[in-house]
Chains A and B, each alone.
Chain A
Amino acid sequence: MKLETLNYDLVVVGAGPAGLTAALLASDAGLHVAVIDEQAAPGGQIFRQPPSTFNAPPSSAFASYPFGQKLLAQARNNIRIKWYFSTCAWGVFHPEKGGVQLAIVEGEHSHLLDCSKLLIATGAYDLPVAFPGWTLPGVMTAGGIQTLLKSQFLCSAQRYVLAGSHPLLLLLAGQLVDAGAQIEEVAIARPRPKVCELLAGWRALPGHWRMFGQLAGILFKLWRKGVPLRFSTIVTRVQGKEGVERVTLSNVDTNWDILPGTERHHLADGLAIGYGLLASTELARQAGCSVNWNPERGGWVVDHDDTMRTSLEHIYVAGEPCGVAGAEMAHCQGRLAGISIVAALRPDSTLSAISARRALGRAKPFADTVATFFAPRLDALTKLADSETLICRCEDVTAGQVCDFLKKHPHVSSVNSVKLACRSGMGPCQGRYCQHTVAHLVSAERNIAVNQTGAYTAQAPVKPIPLASLALVQQD
């Protein structure tokens, strides 16, 4: 029994800023490159475009990240790279003959790609937060609402409440106002920034005036429309029969703990949740790359050296999987990874990493400031779930069930053991929704650090794939 196998110098997973930058650079240097992406076109989440048949202005993300337009144009014109769009990379294997093997599925067919080097640039996804009512239709992540806006110009609702702490929430507020939606309130969990905090962030400024200008523009737009923007405010509950009808907000202290008696309500049919992003590290972890716990940068993030190589010789990483830091950092890391990979495979290459490292150094202070300024308080967010709240929506497991189990079984202190016993994390999302909530529940119940509770074991396939894609292949 054999699957079809194809050979490449470099296979890149993810056609966002990091993956595209590396793939184009490696292809220009003469490497035989393949790029895998689940979407139908290049750009990733940040440069997602409407279908070409739409008569639409260019993406607003190009205003924040001017390199994007050129990157996408180059990608569209590159016919030397083998593009696998609408394709899922579901497993990394280590053949005995050396190199790396990537398993992909396109529709009903799985293939194996043999490569000398693999670059994992799988991006990030919205941090899910479980609170009473979060599974009602109309509650969406900021990224999800943005996807509908960017790709189809659709508003998921008419009257929104936006709750979170990530700058993406403000960007979304501006986009929703432009799209004609009504915003009842933008509720930011962190306290109003103090003057000294703003001053401490000065290092973020050089090279990023454009973004601060954009932010000021959005704030002005919200002010003009009379949209209230409140700090130290968190979402605590959503109610409604068949969808969102009423959103409850409360004031919080600096630890994001709820101040009793401060509840207030909005009538709304849409709620955007934007507390942050989680690094998408499932493929890297399944491959066996080592990770470290970094709650400010998206949870478990992939270890790498200063050439973007992971703990495994043939696997590199760039962008959000090595710590959520935004499109500009991803672009710079992709460039560095591309140069490193070319240098490893073509020792006579004249490409220099010096200017790539300098660009990375210029981008870093901004990313660092954003990370500390908007870091989500995962511990406080976990407390929003009451005992009836579903934390695993795939397998219908409530916070109360997990807490009862932990009380009854004092020998259990890892997320994987809870998964096996309670089924939280066993469904189609494979734990992406509940891992952090479960980890914080175990941490609180056992009084141990969150990272000591471990990460759900990442297994192939990292996303569900058709069984037939593995069995319906020609016999030997």
Chain B
Amino acid sequence: MTYYLAKAGATVRLVERAQLNSAASSQNAGSLHFQLEYRMIENGSEAARKAAEAMPLHLDAQNAWAGLEKELGMPVGVSQHGGFMVAETPQQIETLKQKVMLERASGLDVELLDGAQVRSRAPYLSEQILGAAFCATEGKADPRSCVLAYAAAAARLGARINSGLGVSTLNYEHGVWRVHFSDGSECMARTLAITAGAWSGRIAAMAGVSLPVSPVALTMTTTVRTSPMISHLIQHAGRRLSLKQTGDGNILIGGGWPARLHHVNGVIDLDRRPELLISSLTGNMSAALAVVPALKKLSILRVWTGTTALVADQLPLLGEVPKSHGLYIATGGSAFTLGPTYARLLAERILGRPATLDITPFDPRRFGSLTLA
């Protein structure tokens, strides 16, 4: 968002407590998924219908990613060769059918393929795969370089960026926000935007606002590099699985397997990396191997955990915090895939420009009294 604001000529300062690419922004899987995810369809058709409300954002993100490298003038590993959501059982095929109907109704171009069609496009997939939903614009990007590319582009446009600088207090006084930093310095701003991922709830609390944002700890695994074998994004309709091969040749395996958040005196300790659960690792690898049998001969190089932010109703939290004065937030949901979209739309809103997309369904206002200071 710093980039989009700076591009519009606003005076922007970005403050990061640690390093720019040190948390979820670089730890996430780098999936560009525009189909509904497993977490959105695992709880029945009503929940899926609710999740599909965010589909306009998905549609916008398809194009945002396609043009991002040109926009930033730097490669960020965008590759959109399509993505499968595979099914291994007749029941999962049924789920896919309903999902595809829902998505088509929302304007997403999705095909339903049978097992033979799937394997003709992706011969590396197991014989066990009975069918899949295919979305041609899905793919991947490199999260390790996206944040830095945005930062470099924003800095070129005159944005001020500080890493290693935390926020200590936020106070609204005499029509401006007064921000105290961890090094004792302070600054004043007319507008504050919270884009702190899992920390969003805590920062909002500093401003006297309670938001229903919860940290969720997840697990990712990468194999050693291998020759190109998987060009698509793979997801699963009945198991937690996301799988892709990076441009460097590593195969990234994830899909929402939990890790354990540390607690101090009953409060989640966001400063410690969540603890890896062996059950998540074995479960995730079993799912991966069932879908892509050729993984059998590869070694695991690294497993890591990270913390993302989910909102109570699983939809994004995007817009101005009600009853506040110039306090904005963007978090929740598929925040990597939708990141460029969130940022552009919120910048638009902050600058008071006409909305290119209606973001009122994602407004923090929907939680009503919860957001009262």
Residues of A near any B CB (own CB < 8 A) = 1-3, 91, 93-94, 101, 103, 112, 395, 408-409, 411-414, 416-417, 420-421, 423, 426-428, 430, 457, 459-461, 464-468, 470-473, 475
Bound-complex Cα distance A164 to B172 (A):
61
Instruction: Give, as a whole number of angstroms, the nearest-CB distance from B293 to chain A.
Output: 10
Contact of A470 among B161, B224, B281 (CB under 8 A): B281
- Quick check: B275 and A94 within 8 Å, CB to CB? yes
Quick check: B300 and A470 within 8 Å, CB to CB?
Answer: yes
Convert B284-298 into 0s and 1s, putting 1 for each residue whose CB lies closer than 8 angstroms to a CB of A.
011011000001111
Contact A421 B148 (CB under 8 A): yes
Q: How far is B298's CA from A416's CA once the two chains are assembled, in angstroms?
A: 25
Q: Is the CB of A1 within 8 A of B279?
A: yes
Are A413 and B278 in contact, CB atoms less than 8 angstroms apart? Answer: no
The answer to whether A464 and B20 have CB atoms under 8 Å apart is no
Do B164 and A413 touch (CB < 8 A)? Answer: yes
B225, closest chain A residue (CB): A427
Q: Which residues of A contact B21 (CB under 8 A)?
A: 417, 420-421
| A223 smallest CB distance to B (angstroms) | 48
Give the chain B neighbours of A468 by CB distance below 8 A.
Answer: 289, 295-297
5 further interface pairs, Cβ-Cβ under 8 Å (given A417-B20, A459-B304): A93-B276, A421-B145, A457-B304, A468-B296, A470-B281
Nearest CB on B from A271, distance (A): 29
Q: Is B330 an interface residue (CB 8 A)?
A: no
For B279, give the chain A residue with the smallest CB separation. A1
Instruction: Knowing A93-B276, A471-B288, A471-B289 are in contact, say whether A1-B283 is a contact too (CB < 8 A).
Output: yes
B interface SS class = mixed
User: Lowest 6 A-B CB distances belong to which pairs?
Assistant: A471-B285, A411-B163, A464-B299, A471-B289, A470-B285, A420-B144
23 A–B contact pairs at CB < 8 A? A1-B283, A3-B278, A411-B16, A411-B19, A411-B20, A412-B19, A413-B163, A414-B22, A420-B22, A426-B301, A426-B302, A427-B225, A428-B299, A428-B301, A459-B276, A460-B276, A464-B224, A464-B300, A465-B300, A467-B288, A468-B289, A468-B295, A470-B286
CA distance A3 to B279 in the complex (A): 9
Judged by a CB distance under 8 angstroms, whether B223 is at the interface is yes
Residue-wise interface mask of B (110-135) relative to A, using a CB-CB cutoff of 8 A (1 in contact, 0 not): 00000000000000000000000000
Within 8 Å of chain A (Cβ to Cβ): is B162?
yes
Residue of A nearest to B19 (CB): A417
B residues 135-169 in Cβ contact with A at 8 Å: 144-145, 148, 151-152, 161-164
Which residues of B approach A to under 8 Å, CB–CB? 16, 19-22, 26, 144-145, 148, 151-152, 161-164, 223-225, 248, 273, 275-279, 281-283, 285-286, 288-289, 295-304
Residue in B144, B161, B223 whose Cβ sees the most chain A Cβ within 10 Å: B144
Q: How far is A142 from B288 in the complex, measured between Cα atoms in Å?
A: 42
Q: How far is the CA of A409 from the CA of B147 in the complex (A)?
A: 11
Q: If A409-B152, A457-B273 touch, does A467 touch B285 (CB 8 Å cutoff)? A: yes
Select one of A416, A420, A426, A461 contacting B303, CB under 8 A. A461
Per the bound structure, the CA–CA distance linking A103 and B299 in Å amounts to 16
Nearest-neighbour CB distance to chain B for A5, whole angstroms, equals 10
Q: Does B19 lie within 8 Å of A467, measured CB to CB?
A: no
Closest residue of B by beta carbon distance from A414? B19
**Nearest A residue to B143, CB-CB:** A420
**A470-B282 in contact (CB<8A):** yes
Bound-state CA distance A416–B145 (Å) is 13
Chain A: CB-nearest residue to B297: A468
* Complex-state Cα separation, A299 to B182, whole angstroms: 29
CB distance from A272 to the nearest CB of B (A): 29
| B295 pairs with A417, CB closer than 8 A | no
Given A1-B283, A464-B301, does the pair A420, B26 have CB atoms closer than 8 Å? yes
Q: Which residues of B contact A472 (CB under 8 A)?
A: 289, 296
Cα–Cα, bound, A467→B223 (Å): 8
With a cutoff of 8 Å between Cβ atoms, the chain A residues found around residue B164 in the complex are 413
Asked whether B163 lies within 8 Å of A412 as measured between CB atoms, the reply is: yes
Could you tell me the distance in whole angstroms from the C-beta of A283 to the nearest C-beta in chain B? 14
User: Could you tell me if B300 and A461 are in contact, using CB atoms closer than 8 angstroms?
Assistant: yes
Closest to A95 in B: B278
Complex Cα gap A427–B148 (Å):
21
* Cβ of A452 to closest chain B Cβ, rounded Å: 10
Select the residue from A417, A423, A473 with max chain B CB neighbours within 10 A.
A417
Are the C-beta atoms of A412 and B300 separated by less than 8 Å? no
- Contact indicator B145/A467 (Cβ below 8 Å): no
In the complex, chain A residues whose CB is within 8 Å of the CB of B301: 426-428, 430, 461, 464
B223 to A, closest residue via Cβ: A467
Residue in A417, A465, A471 with the greatest tally of chain B CB atoms within 10 Å: A471
Q: How far is the CB of B288 from chain A (nearest CB, A)?
A: 7
CA distance A408 to B153 in the complex (A): 11
- Interface contact B278-A467, CB-CB below 8 Å: no
**Nearest Cβ in chain B — how far from A115, in angstroms?**
15
Interface contact A91-B285, CB-CB below 8 Å: no
In the complex, what residues of B have CB within 8 A of residue A423's CB? Answer: 248
State the CA gap A277–B144 with chains docked (Å).
Answer: 32
Smallest Cβ distance from A409 to chain B, in angstroms? 6
A412 CA to B300 CA, complexed, in Å: 28
Q: Is the CB of B286 within 8 A of A1?
A: yes
Residues of A within 8 A of B285 (CB): 467, 470-471
| Complexed CA–CA distance, A2 and B164 (Å) | 42
